[in-house]
Structure 1
């Protein structure tokens, strides 16, 4: 039997975000938001992230730039954390955020740099105050 877009999406979602994140999201799913969870697993993860034209690293960098430009800070932090699984480096993220500064504005990039620094500090076990 062929793999469905939901199954393929769930596989990639777990690869990128990690089992713990996806398990938490699934545990919080209710009848109200179940269609939304299915939609993002099918559409974003199964329909876009599974396409072979870009690597997960490249998609990760694009996603980070877009989320930063749009000011979606919670999702931005989540996708910066996910770079541990996609192969995008801190230098890759910095370059993506420099593009944000040029094409979406310095305030958007400034906020995104602050979020990235906080995520890196948490990941590296550094006190947030020391990282400012």
Structure 2
């Protein structure tokens, strides 16, 4: 059974509700709910509002991810990708964008700026111990297992 995600508009908007764009799409497209276009200079960061708040069922999270087309063509990325929306968050969903390209990027009202994945969450029981079980890798850090 699919989880139900409730969406509330933060303000009046002519934008449609976020939706899947194809039959088997994993992500729901999020749109920029802005009054006028904004220009992002190279390496500029912005929290772009979507005009919505969501209620995610307990046991799930929202993962905010970049849209691949704009990432490839323009260098539009998310600062904290994937961003996490917890089940108990009820504020406006904002997308933390960064322009990693060499040219300014224009975000227009209604532009699809990110995608939202609804995913199950497993919460771990945290236990303090004096020692961890040994492993083949051991304490090897970044790049330890290969190139």
Fold equivalence (TM over 0.5): no
Greater strand share, structure number: 2
Q: Tell me which structure has the larger Cα radius of gyration.
A: 2
TM-score by length of 1: 0.28
TM-score by length of 2: 0.26
Greater helix share, structure number: 1
